[in-house]
Amino acid sequence: MKINVIGLGYIGLPTALSLAAGGLKVTGTDKKQSIVDSLQAGDLTFKEKGLQSLFEEVKNSGNLTVTTECVEADVYIISVPTPYIKINKRIDTTYVEGAVKDVLKVCPDGGIIAVESTISPGTMEKYIRPLIVQSGKVPGKDVHIAHVPERIIPGNMIYELTHNSRTIGVDESSIGEVLRSVYSVFCQGDMVITDIKTAEMTKVIENTFRDINIAFANELAKICRRDDMDVYEVIRVANMHPRVNILQPGPGVGGHCISVDPWFLVGDYPDIVNIIRHARMINDEQPEYVLSRMSEIMEENNITSLSEVGLYGLTYKENVDDTRESPTLQLLEVMKSHAAYGVKVYDPFVSDDMVPNQYKDFEQFIQDVKLVVILVAHDHIKDKIDKLKGKVIFDTRNCIKNEEIHSYLL
C-alpha cells in the first residue's frame, strides 16, 4: 500500500511520519521547496513534542520520501490549509482544490483521495466531486473520495494522533474499511465510519463547540470583573457539577482552527447562526478588552509610557511555536488601530523577527519593562517566576500562582 500525503504542515508531517513509522511506504509532498529541502536535509520545520524522535525513527526506516510533486499511490491524504474568505466568511477551497487537481494527474484507477483539511459541510460534494468528473474519471468507480478530519491538538499531537478516535466519511463502507486499515497502522482509537457530510459537519462543530465555550468563559470574566468576583474560582466551583465543564477565559482565541472554522458556518448559514456568530465576535473582541485592562493597570501604577510595558508570548498558546492568529498579534493590531506603539515583546519560542521591539533575550526584556503582560502560559515563564519579582504583572492566563507575587487578572 503506497500513500502520498500532500501538505507537510502541522498535520501532514506528523501524519506522514506516523504512517511511515507504521511500516507503509509514504511520499510526503509539499509545494514549498524550503520545506522539502529542510526535511531532505534531516531538519524538522517546526517543533512539537515527540516529533523529533518520530522523525529519527522514520529516517532510519527509509519509508518516507519527500518531494514537491504528487506521485502514483493507492491512497492520497490531503492536509493543506483551508482559510476563510474575510468578506463573506465562507471557506476558501483554493488549496484543497489545487491539491486534488494535482493528485488527479497521477492518481491510478481505484485510488482514494482522503481530505483531512477542515472543510465546511458540503465542500466535498460542491467542490471536490466535480473536479473528478472534470478530469474525465468517474467518482466512486475510478476515484473514491473521503473526508477524514484530523483532531490532534498542537502541543500533544503525537500522543493524540495515536490515541484519539477518528471520523472517516465515505460514500461506501468498503472504502471506509480500506482507510481504517491504513490509519490503524498508528491509530489506536475508535474509527467511526460515516457519510462525508456528517464527517465535515462534525469536525466544524467540534471546534465551534470549543469556541462557544471559551466565549462563555470570556464573558464570565467581564461579569466577574464588574462585580468583583474571582472568575477562576467561580468556574472552578461550577465545574464541580457533574454536567458542567466551562473552559478558561484568556486574551483571545488564536490558532488556525478554532478562530477560523466557526466562520464557515456563519458564512454558509448567515440567517440561522446567532450564538455561533456572537461567540466568534466575543472572542475576537477579547484583545480589545485586554487593552482596556492594560490601560487601567498602567494608570493604577503610574506607568505612563507603553515603552515600559512588555508583552510576554507571541504564539497562539502555550509551549508551541505557532503564531497564526495569535491573541498577541491580534492585540498588537488593536493597539495599532489606537495608534498605541512602543510596547516591547518577547517569546522564547519565536526566534524570527516578527514585530517591532521584539526581544530575543528574556533577562534584557524583563529588565527594560515595568509592567509584564503575560499572554501565553509557556512553561518557560512558570519556571522563571523569580525574575518577575518587583514587576507589575498582568496575568491574562492566570498562570503565575505565587503568594509573593501579586498579579492583576482579566
Q: Which residues are catalytic?
A: 203, 257
Residue pair 81/8 in contact (Cβ under 8 Å)? The answer is no
C-beta of 104 vs 231, nearer to ligand SAJ: 231
Q: Give the nearest distance from C-beta 143 to ligand SAJ in angstroms.
A: 26
C-beta of 83 vs 342, nearer to ligand SAJ: 83
Q: Give the nearest distance from C-beta 213 to ligand SAJ in angstroms.
A: 7
C-beta of 2 vs 210, nearer to ligand SAJ: 210
Closest CA to 40 of 65, 68, 6: 65
Strands (E), 58-124: 64-67, 75-78, 111-115
d(C-alpha 394, C-alpha 373), whole Å: 5
The single-letter DSSP state of residue 108 is P
Q: Give the nearest distance from C-beta 377 to ligand SAJ in angstroms.
A: 8
SS (H, E, C) 153-187: CCCCHHHHHHHCCEEEEECCHHHHHHHHHHHCCCC
DSSP per-residue codes, 185-227: TT--S-EEEE-HHHHHHHHHHHHHHHHHHHHHHHHHHHHHHHT
C-beta of 268 vs 308, nearer to ligand SAJ: 268
C-beta of 7 vs 255, nearer to ligand SAJ: 255
C-beta of 144 vs 151, nearer to ligand SAJ: 151
Query: Cα angle at 28 between 71 and 35, to 5 degrees?
Result: 120
Q: Give the nearest distance from C-beta 150 to ligand SAJ in angstroms.
A: 6
Write out the three cell numbers for 182: 491504513
C-beta of 104 vs 152, nearer to ligand SAJ: 152
Q: Give the nearest distance from C-beta 317 to ligand SAJ in angstroms.
A: 4
Burial 145-182 (b: 16+ CB within 10 A, else e): bbbbbbbbebebbbebbeebebbbbbbeeebbebbbeb
Residues within the interface to ligand SAJ (CB under 6 A) = 118, 150-154, 206-207, 210, 214, 247-248, 250, 253-255, 257-258, 316-317, 327
Q: Is the dihedral of CA 36, 41, 44, 45 positive or negative?
A: negative
Q: Give the nearest distance from C-beta 261 to ligand SAJ in angstroms.
A: 6
* Site of grid cell 465546511: 120
C-beta of 176 vs 327, nearer to ligand SAJ: 327
Write out the three cell numbers for 241: 457539577
Q: Give the nearest distance from C-beta 247 to ligand SAJ in angstroms.
A: 3
Give kind and range of the element (H or E) at residue 346. Answer: strand 344-346
Closest CA to 310 of 395, 406, 379: 395
Q: Give the nearest distance from C-beta 316 to ligand SAJ in angstroms.
A: 4
Question: Could you tell me which residues are beta bridge partners of residue 115?
Answer: 78, 147
Residue pair 283/218 in contact (Cβ under 8 Å)? The answer is yes
* Site of grid cell 491538538: 153
